[in-house]
Chains A and B, each alone.
Chain A
Amino acid sequence: MKRGPEWLQQELPRMQAEGVIDAAVAARLRAYCVAHSAPPRRWIWPLFGALGALLVGFGVVLLLAHNWDGLSRGARMLIAFAPLALGQGACLWALMRADSSPHWREATGAFTALAFAAALALVGQMYHLSSDLDGYLLSCALLALPLAYVLRALSVLLLSAAALLGWTVAAEGAAIFAVLAAFASLLPLISLAWWTGQRAAAKLTLSLWVLMATAAVALSMAERAGWQAALLGLVLTVGIVWLARDVHGRAPLAPLRILAQGGLIVMAAAATFEGFWLGRGVAFDALVSPVASGVLLVEGLVFATLLVRAVRAHHFLVAAGAVPVVFGSCALLMDASVVPVWLGMLLANGYVLGIGVTLLHQGLRLGQLGTAHAGLIAVSLLVVVRFLDADLPFSLRGLAFVIVGLAFIAASLWLRRRAVRA
Chain B
Amino acid sequence: MKRYGCLLALLALFALQWALPISQIQQYQQVVDRGTAYRFRTAPVDPVDPFRGRYVTLQFAAAEMTVPAGASYPSDQPLYAPITVEQSGFAVLQPPRRAPPEGDYLTVRVAHRIDDARLRVRLPFDRYYLNERLAPEAERLARDAMRADRATSLAPSWAVVRVRNGEAVLTDLFIDGVPVRQRIAEAERALESEQ
Q: Do A and B bind each other?
A: yes
Chain A residues close to B by CB (< 8 Å): 61, 64-69, 77, 80-81, 84, 88, 91-92, 95-96, 99, 112, 116-131, 136, 139, 143, 146-147, 149-151, 393-394
Do the beta carbons of B13 and A95 come within 8 Å of each other?
no
- Cross-chain contact of B20 among A127, A131, A143 (Cβ < 8 A): A143
Is B7 an interface residue when CB atoms closer than 8 A count as contact?
yes
Do the beta carbons of B55 and A65 come within 8 Å of each other?
no
- Cross-chain contact of A131 among B24, B25, B28, B127 (Cβ < 8 A): B127
Do the beta carbons of A67 and B14 come within 8 Å of each other?
no
Do the beta carbons of B123 and A130 come within 8 Å of each other?
yes
Q: Which residues 124-179 of B sit at the A interface, judged by CB distance below 8 A? A: 124-134, 169-171
Do the beta carbons of A130 and B7 come within 8 Å of each other?
no
Q: Classify the interface of chain B: helix, strand, loop or mixed.
A: mixed
- Cross-chain contact of A122 among B50, B52, B131, B171 (Cβ < 8 A): B52
Q: Chain A residues near B133: list those with CB within 8 A.
A: 393
Closest Cβ of chain A to B183, distance in Å, is: 15
Q: Chain A residues near B181: list those with CB within 8 A.
A: 69
Q: Chain A residues near B169: list those with CB within 8 A.
A: 127-128
Closest Cβ of chain A to B131, distance in Å, is: 4
Q: A84-B18, A128-B129, A139-B20 are in contact. Are A66 and B53 (CB under 8 A)?
A: yes
Q: Mark B56-72, 1 if CB is under 8 A from A, else 0.
A: 00000000000000000
Do the beta carbons of A150 and B24 come within 8 Å of each other?
no
Closest Cβ of chain A to B66, distance in Å, is: 23
Closest Cβ of chain B to A401, distance in Å, is: 13
Measured CA separation A61–B50 after assembly (Å): 9
Is B103 an interface residue when CB atoms closer than 8 A count as contact?
no
- Cross-chain contact of A88 among B14, B21, B128 (Cβ < 8 A): B14
- The chain A residue with its CB closest to the CB of B125 is A130
Measured CA separation A364–B126 after assembly (Å): 52
Measured CA separation A88–B15 after assembly (Å): 10
Most buried by A among B14, B24, B122: B14
Measured CA separation A191–B10 after assembly (Å): 21
Measured CA separation A118–B28 after assembly (Å): 18
Q: A96-B3, A127-B169 are in contact. Are A120 and B21 (CB under 8 A)?
A: yes
Q: Chain A residues near B53: list those with CB within 8 A.
A: 64-67, 125, 394
Do the beta carbons of A65 and B18 come within 8 Å of each other?
no
Q: Chain B residues near A64: list those with CB within 8 A.
A: 53
Q: Chain A residues near B32: list those with CB within 8 A.
A: 127
Is B9 an interface residue when CB atoms closer than 8 A count as contact?
yes
Do the beta carbons of A95 and B20 come within 8 Å of each other?
no
Do the beta carbons of B3 and A125 come within 8 Å of each other?
no
Measured CA separation A124–B128 after assembly (Å): 10
